[in-house]
Amino acid sequence: MVGKYPVITLCGSTRFKEAFLEAQKRLTLGGNIVISVGLFGHSGDEEVWADGTKEMLDDMHKRKIDMADAIYVINVGGYIGESTRSEIAYAREKGKKVMFLEEPELRVGDSNDPEQDLARVRKFINTHEWHFAKSMPDLPHWYCLREDKQDFEEFLWFARYLKAHSEPGMFFGKIYHYFYLDGYKYWSMDGRPEECDLINRDEI
């Protein structure tokens, strides 16, 4: 709070530039001091991708959260990426109020703790065997099989998590849905998690 005005920091994927600007205007007119992102890397601000800049901006945004009473998450279509989940977890850790553009429903594969979910994802990844796709040397990637994992329920949970947190991307003219984490992208070719018996991954 500065004077009589609450301070709100906007968080979310920078692909939603118009939604950021609309929320900033609406919240400002509602009597709030609004702190936003400085650049929109996924909406044309190429400077973000210069060496070391993205890391600096991510750290700077945590400091913006420190300055705020609350964060307002721009989650258009329910989308919340890895960086935003980290910011939500950080805000909650610091006792900040968390508000959403679209109130999220608790999706299959989610708990109320995004960091706990990511820890579970990383545990699955690190304890599973990833096979190199020898049959596709021109498209090098790795895959894991449901039959390799005795805990089928955990494999299903991971498949559901990927589907719930993936984003569309083009590959050879077709749209696939990818989940990005720790320098890798993950995807399944199956429409329903319950039908999934193979999950792919590749370096970004």
Q: Is the same domain home to 118 and 183?
A: yes
Q: Is the same domain home to 118 and 197?
A: yes
| % pLDDT > 90, the chain | 38
Which residue range forms the structural domain that includes residue 180?
114-203
Q: Does residue 106 sit within a domain? A: no
In terms of pTM, does the model score above 0.85? Answer: no
Residues with Cβ < 8 Å from 64, sequence gap 6 or more?
Answer: 9, 35
- In this prediction, residue 123 carries a pLDDT of 92
Q: Is the same domain home to 14 and 92?
A: yes
Q: Is the same domain home to 86 and 119?
A: no
Higher-scoring residue by pLDDT: 13, 170: 13
pLDDT at residue 175 tops 80: no
Each residue of 79-108: pLDDT tens digit? 888 888 889 888 988 989 989 898 765 454
Q: Is the same domain home to 133 and 56?
A: no
Q: Residue 51: give its domain's CATH number.
A: 3.40.50
- In single-letter form, the type of residue at position 35 comes to I
The rounded distance, in Å, linking the Cα atoms of 31 and 117 is: 35
- In single-letter form, the type of residue at position 188 comes to S
- In this prediction, residue 166 carries a pLDDT of 83
Size (the chain), residues:
204
Q: Partners of 187 in the beta sheet? A: 200
Residues with Cβ < 8 Å from 72, sequence gap 6 or more?
Answer: 8, 9, 10, 11, 23, 27, 99, 100, 101
What is the pLDDT of the chain when averaged over all its residues?
A: 87
Domain count along the chain? 2
Span of 68-82, 140-154, 175-189 with lowest mean pLDDT: 140-154
Q: Is the same domain home to 75 and 125?
A: no
The rounded distance, in Å, linking the Cα atoms of 192 and 174 is: 18
Q: Where is the domain boundary, 100, 123, 139?
A: 100
